[in-house]
Amino acid sequence: MDSILVKGNGPLSGQIPIAGAKNACLALMPATLLSEEPLTLTNAPRLSDIATMTELLQSLGAEVSSLQEGQVQALSSHTIDNHVADYEIVRKMRASNLVLGPMLARLGQAVVSLPGGCAIGARPMDLHIHGLEALGAEIELKDGYLHAKAPRGLKGAVIQLSFASVGATENIMMAATLAKGTTVIKNAAREPEIVDLADCLNKMGAQVEGAGSPDITIQGVDRLYGATHPVVTDRIELGTYMLAPAICGGEVELLGGRLDLVGAFVEKLNEAGVDVTETKAGLKVKRHGDRVKAVNVTTEPFPGFPTDLQAQMMALMCTAEGTSVLEEKIFENRFMHAPELIRMGAKIDVQGGLATVTGVDHLKGAPVMATDLRASVSLILAGLAAEGETIVNRVYHLDRGYEQVVRKFSGVGAQIERIKGS
C-alpha cells in the first residue's frame, strides 16, 4: 500500500487550483437516474469516490464516461435495467445511498445495500427512510438491504427533519422532483452542495425553491430533461489548502476559492492571526508572525464550521500559541487523528466530543496511520509543520477526496512525495 512522505517545511508560496467538490459531485451524479436524457457535469474532480459512484451507476444500467482527463462526466440513464445497488459497491462509500431516492422516483422500486458504518460515527439512515416514507414509499430492511417500493408513485408531503442531514435532504429532494404535488423539506441542510444539486435539478426541469435556506419547496413535475452543469468548488479542499500557509507560513493563493463557501472557517483563521483576502482568481492566505494563536472551534451544519475541516484545524492548533478547545458536534467518533497527532508530539486531551489542544513549539516527524479521509490530510499538514520526516500510511483514504495531493502541495514548495507500496 502506498504511503506519503512529508518533510518539515519552511514558508510556502505560489498557487493551488481548487477542484470541483467531491461531495457535490457525488450527489449530482445520481441525479442522472431521474432522467432518460444525458446529464453532463463539468469541473468534476478526479477521485476514487467518483470512480466508485461511476461503477455503481453503471451497475444499474447508466452510461458514464469521462472526457477531458476526467473533468467532464457524461452520464446517461436512458435505460435503467437493474434496481439493486449491490453491497460490494455500496459498502465502499456512504454516498452510494444517494441512488435510493432517484431510483425510487424513476422506477418505483429500489433495493440498496445499507452503506458501511464509517469509522467517524454510526451514520444511520433513519432520516432518509422517514422522508421517503412520508412521500409514500414502503421501505423495509432485509438481509442488509433497504427494499423500497412506491407502487402508486410518490406523493408530495411536508417533511420535518429532526436534524439537517445533508444526505437525507439530497435523497428526499431528488425523489420529490418526480413526486405528484408539492413537497416541503423543513430544517433542510443548507450546505453549498445542496444549492448546487438544486441548481442542477432546476436545469433539468425540476421546480426546486429555497435551497440554501431551512425550507426547501419542490413542486413535482412529470419528467426531467438533459442538462449541463459545472460542479461547485470544493470548499473542504479549499479550506484544507488554506491551512498550508497558516501552518508553514508564507503566502498561497487558492485559485477558484470563494469566501461565501468558507465564511465560518475564515472567521476562525482571522482570529488565529491568518489573513485571507479575495483576489481576482480566488483567495490569498498569509500568516502573521511565527505562530498562530489558539482559537476554540465548534463544528456545526453549514453555515457553521464544517466537521470536514475539524481534523485539519486540529493540526493547526497543535502548533498554536495557547490552548484551544475543539468541539465535534456532527459525528460522535471523529477524533481518530488525535492519537496519531500525539505520536508527533502534539498535546491533546480528548473527552467525549471535546478535544483540548495545547500548542507546542515544534511537532516531531513520526510514522502515522491515516484513519479516514480528513484525518489523512491533517497528518500531512502536521508533517509539514514538524521537525524531520513523517510517513503517512494507508493513504487510500486520501485518494477518495484529494486529487493530485502531492502535486498541489509540492507546487507551493512543500517537500512531499508518494512512496509506492508493494
Ligand X SMILES: C=C(OP(=O)(O)O)C(=O)O
Task: List residues binding ligand UD1 (CB under 6 A).
Answer: 23, 26, 94-95, 121-128, 163, 165-168, 189, 193, 307-308, 330-331
Per rule CB under 6 A, is residue 23 in the interface with ligand X?
yes
Q: Check whether 123 is labelled as a binding-site residue.
A: yes
C-alpha–C-alpha distance, residues 327 and 128, integer Å: 26
**Using CB under 6 A, which of the segments 1-9, 66-74, 87-95, 157-165 binds ligand X?**
87-95
Strand-pair partners of 41: 73, 229
The span from the CA of 198 to the CA of 213, in Å, is 12
Indicate which single residue of 8, 45, 77, 94 sits in contact with ligand X (rule: CB under 6 A): 94
Tell me if 308 is assigned to a ligand binding site. yes
For residue 204, the Cα-to-chain-centroid distance in whole angstroms is 23
244 binds, among ligand X, ligand UD1, none (CB under 5 to 8 A by kind): none
What are all long-range contacts of 269-275, with beta carbons under 8 Å and residues at least 24 apart?
A: 269/242, 271/295, 272/246, 272/316, 272/320, 274/242, 274/245, 274/246
Task: Return the bridge partners of 349, or none.
Answer: 356
**Contact characters 346-375, ligand X, x per CB under 6 A:** ---------------------------xx-
Q: Choosing among ligand UD1, ligand X, none, which partner's interface includes residue 373 (Cβ < 5 to 8 Å by kind)?
A: ligand X
Residues 108, 150 contacting (CB under 8 angstroms): yes
Residue, CB closest to ligand UD1? 167
Residues in the chain: 422
Q: Where do we find the cell 459512484? A: 53
What minimum distance in Å lies between the beta carbon of 27 and ligand UD1?
7
Three-class DSSP category at 255: strand
* The binder of ligand X chosen from 191, 237, 308, 340 (CB under 6 A): 308
- Separation in Å, CA 28 to CA 41, 76, 84, 93, 329: 8, 13, 19, 15, 26
In terms of C-beta density within 10 A (0-12 exposed, 13-18 middle, 19 or more buried), how is residue 126 classed?
Answer: exposed
Q: Binds 34, which of ligand UD1, ligand X, none (CB < 5 to 8 A, cut-off by type)?
A: none
What minimum distance in Å lies between the beta carbon of 233 and ligand X?
Answer: 15
Taking the least distance from each CB to ligand UD1, the nearer of 127 and 348 is 127
Q: Does 177 bind ligand X (CB under 6 A)?
A: no
| Contact indicator for 34, 224 with CB cutoff of 8 Å | yes
Closest to ligand UD1 by CB, 124 vs 367, is: 124
23 is in an annotated binding site: yes
Q: Which stretch binds ligand X (CB under 6 A): 7-15, 57-65, 71-79, 89-97?
A: 89-97
User: Which of ligand UD1, ligand X, none does 28 bind, CB closer than 5 to 8 A by kind?
Assistant: none
Compute the least distance from the CB of residue 92 to ligand UD1, in Å. 12
For residues 360 and 319, the answer to whether their CB atoms sit within 8 Å is yes
State the DSSP code for 291. Answer: S
- Cβ proximity to ligand X: between 47 and 134 the closer is 47
**Would the annotation count 91 as a binding residue?**
no
125, 187 contact by CB (below 8 A): no
Query: Which of 118, 200, 248, 318 is the catalytic position?
Result: 118
Closest CB 141 distance from ligand UD1, rounded Å:
13
Q: Where are the beta strands (DSSP E) in 339-412?
A: 347-351, 354-358, 363-364, 367-369, 386-387, 389-393
The answer to whether 17 is a known ligand-binding residue is no
Report d(CA 47, CA 63) in Å as an integer. 18
Work out the angle at residue 136's Cα, subtended by the Cα atoms of residues 135 and 137, and round it to the nearest 5 degrees.
100
Q: Is 318 a catalytic residue?
A: no
Contact 332, 370 (CB under 8 A): no
**Partner from ligand X, ligand UD1, none contacting 199, C-beta within 5 to 8 A by type:** none
Cβ 64 to ligand X, closest distance in Å? 18
Among 239, 401, 406, 416, binds ligand X (CB under 6 A): 401
Distance between CA atoms of 147 and 177, rounded to whole angstroms? 21
Residues annotated as catalytic (active site), given as ranges = 118
| Sites of contact with ligand X (CB under 6 A) | 23, 93-95, 118, 308, 373-374, 401
Binding residues for phosphoenolpyruvate: 22-23
Q: Which residues are annotated as a binding site for UDP-N-acetyl-alpha-D-glucosamine?
A: 94, 123-127, 308, 330
Going by the annotation, the residues of the binding site are: 22-23, 94, 123-127, 308, 330
